[in-house]
Chain A
Amino acid sequence: KAGVTQTPRYLIKTRGQQVTLSCSPISGHRSVSWYQQTPGQGLQFLFEYFSETQRNKGNFPGRFSGRQFSNSRSEMNVSTLELGDSALYLCASSSFQTSEYGYTFGSGTRLTVV
């Protein structure tokens, strides 16, 4: 089956702009989580969506937001970009309705803010 698909793979934005990243989970997976990975902070949890509802949120400012659609695809948005937002943004999907467990990650979107 197809894995988790993230688009775009690479993105360059300037400070002050906003950006939207997309994630298509594995078919049948209803949980989608977003993580930010930077060399200094490692992998940090942003938020998690399940059936179009945000179930959990990490410790990030309100400039970071997300949503999930009825087909489980998810988007995350970062407004008023700062240089420190440069990172690899990873999306992971999970299903708790089968014996499959753990999270499957996409290849990520590398965002560079200049």
Chain B
Amino acid sequence: GQQLNQSPQSMFIQEGEDVSMNCTSSSIFNTWLWYKQDPGEGPVLLIALYKAGELTSNGRLTAQFGITRKDSFLNISASIPSDVGIYFCAGMRGANNLFFGTGTRLTVIP
């Protein structure tokens, strides 16, 4: 199945640092979603973006829907240890299914 290109694959950062990750696709999406997955659990929705150019924040998280509708980025400010996990982007065209990114594994060093 189709997957979105997500980068970086992994990140090791110091607590308090800001984090940036992005997702690109060769196809246009109408909705971009960002999820976080903890070990042994399902992904949890962090932010949903519905319009090209939209910038949305959720606490220390900020995400943007690219103008071309083929990309999105997620920023985490002032990282804390509980930010550790795998972050996935997902694109939707209709209401039926999600295409997931390859994931970014984030490690926060206290």
Contacts and interface: CB of A to CB of B under 8 A. Distances in A.
Contacts of A55: 96
A1 to B, nearest CB: 15
A14 interface: no
A107 B42 CA distance: 4
Contact of B42 (A56, A59, A105): A105
A62 B40 CA distance: 27
Interface in A7-55: 31, 33, 35, 42-45, 48, 55
Interface stretch (B21-29, B52-60, B68-76, B97-105): B97-105
A104 B1 contact: no
Interface residues of A, number: 27
Contacts of B88: 43
Contacts of B95: 31, 94, 96
What's the dominant secondary structure at chain A's contact region?
Answer: strand
Nearest to A36: B1
Interface residues of B, number: 23
A43 B100 contact: yes
A45 B97 contact: yes
Given A44-B1, A58-B1, A102-B33, A33 B97 contact: yes
A42 B45 contact: no
B80 to A, nearest CB: 23
B98 A103 contact: yes
Contact of B41 (A33, A58, A102, A107): A107
B96 A90 contact: no
A106 interface: yes
B45 A90 contact: no
B85 interface: no
B40 A107 contact: yes
Nearest to A4: B42
Nearest to B45: A102
B109 interface: no
Interface in B5-55: 31, 33, 35, 40-45, 48, 50
21 contacts: A33-B98, A42-B100, A43-B100, A44-B100, A45-B99, A56-B96, A56-B97, A90-B43, A92-B42, A92-B98, A94-B95, A96-B95, A102-B45, A103-B33, A105-B43, A105-B44, A106-B42, A107-B40, A107-B42, A108-B41, A110-B40
